[in-house]
Amino acid sequence: EADIYQTPRYLVIGTGKKITLECSQTMGHDKMYWYQQDPGMELHLIHYSYGVNSTEKGDLSSESTVSRIRTEHFPLTLESARPSHTSQYLCASSLGTRRQETQYFGPGTRLLVL
């Protein structure tokens, strides 16, 4: 079983609040990813990191930001939450230099912005 954790699992919050979704992995993986998924839709990559102090925006534009100060930690922040941010957010990590390497996923955070 993969050792990748996300907190909180569920979050209901009011518009305008600042939120941080936590993601940690204990596998020493260099690559980490954040995906966003709406019901019935694909997982869309919103941020990724290939190492400490390296972050990139993904294929889906997002108002969130990320940081990678430590290998094991990849938090996602929304400075001012809006109802349009309501979604499920999944964190993943992988190791290695081959593109067929498996990504290991956390259990996700379901965010509801009122």
CA distance 42 to 40: 7
76 binds another protein (CB under 8 A): no
CA distance 33 to 52: 13
* Residue 100 Cβ vs another protein, minimum distance, rounded to whole Å: 4
3: CB partners within 8 A, 6+ apart: 25, 26, 27
Determine how β-strand 87-94 pairs with β-strand 76-78. Answer: unpaired
SS3 of residue 4 by DSSP: strand
Nearer to another protein, 24 or 81 (CB): 24
Only segment of 13-21, 61-69, 74-82, 95-103 that touches another protein (CB under 8 A): 95-103
Nearer to another protein, 42 or 79 (CB): 42
Residues that bind another protein (CB under 8 A): 2, 4, 31, 33, 35, 40-45, 48, 50, 58-59, 90, 94, 99-108
